[in-house]
Amino acid sequence: MVIALLGFLFLFGANEFSKRSAGGFAGSYSFVESWDIRASEGEVMDAIRELKKVNANFNPPGNTVFISKRDTGYKWSSNQMQAYIKKVNIDSLTPLPEKNDDNYYHDYWLFVKFYYPETKEIVHTLIRPKLDTTVTTFAFESLSKIDNPTKFRLINRDFWFMDNKRQIDRFKLLIVDKIQAQIDRKRKNGN
C-alpha cells in the first residue's frame, strides 16, 4: 500500500513538474490545451461568431477585441528589404518587392478571446489551420482577470492538477463542444 501511494505521488509529481518546467521546450505556446476540429478555419470562425451572437455573455466587455487580425508585414531587417530602403532613398517611386518567405512574415495563430462573466475572466484562445485545411486546431491558452488583463494564468502551467482539469473541462463544455455543435448543425442544414 505504501509503495503504491509513493508510486502515485511520484508519477503525479513528475507530471506536474514536467508541465511546469519542461513544457517550455515545445514551442511558442507549449502549455496550451488543444482540440482538432474537423472543419476549415473559416467554418470555425463562423461558428465562433454565431456562438457569440447566441450567447452575448461570451463577448469580452469594453473595447477588448474578440478576434484579432493576423500580424503580417515585411521583414525590414532582411537583405532584400534593406536593399529596397537604399533604392527608395534614391528613387521614391521604387515599387515594393514581391512578397516571399525571405522578406515577408505572417503569424500562424489567430487570437480569439471569450469571457466568463461569472468569474470576470477573459479566456485567451488561438486557432490555426492544419496542413490538411479541413482540420483546424483550437487551443485554450490562458485566463486573465478583467481588472488585470495583462496578468495571464497559463493553462497546463499555472493551475494545479484538479483546478487545471476543471478549467479544461469547463472550456470544452462551454466553448469547444458548442462550436462543434454549431458546425454540425450548419452542415446538417446544408449551409
Write out the DSSP string of 52-76.
HHH-GGGSPSTT--SBPPPPEEE-T
CATH architecture of the region 28-70+109-191: 2-Layer Sandwich (3.30)
**The pLDDT of residue 131:** 87
Distances (CA, A) of 115 to 18, 40, 140: 29, 24, 13
Residue 138, classed as helix, strand or coil, is strand
In this prediction the pTM is 0.70
- Is the pLDDT reported for residue 68 higher than 50? yes
Residue 142, classed as helix, strand or coil, is strand
Euclidean distance between CA atoms 33 and 97, whole angstroms: 39
pLDDT tens-digit profile of 74-124?
Answer: 778 888 888 998 998 998 888 888 888 777 766 778 889 999 999 999 999
Euclidean distance between CA atoms 159 and 140, whole angstroms: 13
- Is the pLDDT reported for residue 21 higher than 50? no
- Cα 125 vs. chain centroid, distance in angstroms? 4
- Is the pLDDT reported for residue 22 higher than 60? no
Q: Which of 40, 63, 8, 11 is nearest to 129 (CA)?
A: 40
- Is the pLDDT reported for residue 60 higher than 50? yes
Delimit the domains of the chain by residue range: 28-70+109-191, 72-106
Mean pLDDT for the chain?
Answer: 83
**The pLDDT of residue 64:** 63
**The pLDDT of residue 142:** 94
- Asked whether the beta carbons of 141 and 124 are under 8 A apart, the reply is yes
